[in-house]
């Protein structure tokens, strides 16, 4: 099983993907961890070929759960995926979650991706690129884009799941984490 998890910034993609990866015994691939380098340098902008190469290498495994929304590598991810999960939660829920995540990270100064020294800073909260602003500003565009992707014939080979409420996540995690009857 190879699962691509999409959703607006702050919806819980990484948490969902990590739990599913643990449940099926597969690697969790976080596109942000591949993209973000030391000093907030991002491969997506500064070295897109290297970003695509690293993502393709990570996706070469037989099974994985990958989360992220990078258009530059979307074709690579979806070509290898068997399942597509869209966490299509309300803007209010996402903003609440994102606020608390950003606040906690800024307070604890935890490193976001090992080896990068990148940390959340209160002083960056008003930057247009900060997750709070980014999620607010891109919410409707992403919802339109992901909705079109779910209906696109190019994703017909995928088993697609659209979750509109967090309460739908647990049953999906359980059903995807169960082995097929002939393997149980």
pLDDT in tens, the chain (184 residues): 999 999 999 999 999 999 999 999 999 999 999 999 999 999 999 999 999 999 999 999 999 999 999 999 999 999 999 999 999 999 999 999 999 999 999 999 998 888 888 889 888 888 888 899 999 999 999 999 999 999 999 999 999 999 999 999 999 999 898 655 544 4
Among 115, 108, 27, 120, residue whose Cα is nearest residue 67: 27
* 117 part of a folded domain: no
* 108 part of a folded domain: no
Instruction: Name the residue range of residue 71's domain.
Output: 2-91+139-183
Among 163, 138, 126, residue whose Cα is nearest residue 9: 138
* 7 part of a folded domain: yes
* 102 part of a folded domain: no
Number of domains in the chain: 1
Q: Which stretches within 63-160 are classed as H helix?
A: 71-80, 91-108, 131-151
pTM metric for this prediction: 0.91
Question: Which CATH number goes with the domain that contains 9?
Answer: 3.40.50.300
């Amino acid at each position: 099983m190879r699962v691509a998890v999409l959703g607006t910034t702050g919806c819980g993609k990484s948490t969902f993907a990590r739990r599913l990866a643990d449940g099926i015994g597969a690697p969790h691939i976080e596109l942000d961890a591949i993209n973000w380098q030391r000093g907030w340098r991002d491969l997506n902008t500064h070295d897109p070929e290297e970003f695509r190469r690293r993502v393709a290498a990570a996706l070469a495994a037989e099974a994985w759960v990958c989360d992220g929304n990078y258009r530059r590598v979307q074709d690579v991810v979806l070509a290898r995926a068997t399942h597509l999960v869209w966490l299509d939660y309300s803007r209010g829920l996402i903003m609440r979650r994102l606020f608390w995540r950003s606040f906690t990270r800024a307070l604890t100064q935890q490193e976001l991706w090992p080896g990068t020294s990148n940390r959340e800073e209160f002083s960056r909260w008003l930057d247009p690129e900060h997750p709070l602003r980014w999620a607010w500003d891109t919410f409707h565009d992403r919802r339109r884009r992901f909705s079109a992707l779910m209906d696109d014939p190019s994703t017909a080979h995928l088993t697609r799941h659209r979750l509109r409420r967090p309460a739908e996540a647990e049953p999906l995690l359980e059903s995807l984490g169960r082995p097929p009857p002939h393997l149980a």
